[in-house]
Amino acid sequence: MRWLSFVKNDTLFGLTEWEYFVWRHRGSLNLVFHFFSLTLGYIIFFYWIFTMNHWLLLGIPIAQFIGFYGHKFEVGGVRSKDVFSPMTSIFLFKIFFLIGIGRYKVLIAEVEEKVRKFNTENSPV
C-alpha cells in the first residue's frame, strides 16, 4: 500500500513514514486517546470559529496532550516532528477510515511482517 508515496522512508526498520506511524499506533487504547484528542481538537477549533472566543484556543494544546498521553500505553513513543505536523492529522484520519472499513488490522499485520523480515535480515548472527 503506497499512499502518500512522497513521504520519505524512515530509517527505523526500513519503514516509510506511514508504515512507521501505523507501527506506533497498533494499540487500541492509544487509538482511543487519539480519536478523543483529534475529535476534541476539531470541536474546539470550529467552536472558536463560530464564537470567536479566543480563550477556547487554549484547549487545543490540552487536546493534543490527550493524544500525546496515549503513547504511554504503546511502544514507539512520540517524535517531536509529529506533535505539530499536519501529516499527523492526515495519517490519523486515514487510520480511522481504515478501522471503519475493517482494513486496519490487515495493515498492522503487513507492517509487523515487514518489521520481522527486516529484523531477520539484519540480525547479527
Q: How far is CA 49 from CA 5, 8, 45, in A?
A: 33, 34, 6
Q: What is the pLDDT along the chain (125 residues), one digit of tens a residue?
A: 444 444 444 457 778 889 988 988 888 898 999 999 999 999 999 999 999 999 999 999 999 888 888 887 776 666 666 666 788 889 999 999 999 999 999 999 999 999 899 888 877 76
> Which residue has cell 481504515?
98
* 5: its cell numbers: 508515496
Q: What is the pLDDT of residue 124?
A: 73
**Global pTM value:** 0.77
**Neighbour count for residue 38 (Cβ, 10 Å):** 20
Rounded CA-CA distance 33/24 in Å is: 13
- For the chain, what is the HEC assignment? CCCCCCCCECCHHHCEHHHHHHHHCCCHHHHHHHHHHHHHHHHHHHHHHHHCCHHHHHHHHHHHHHHHHHHHHCCCCCCHHHHCCHHHHHHHHHHHHHHHCCCHHHHHHHHHHHHHHHHHHCCCC
Q: What is the pLDDT of residue 84?
A: 65
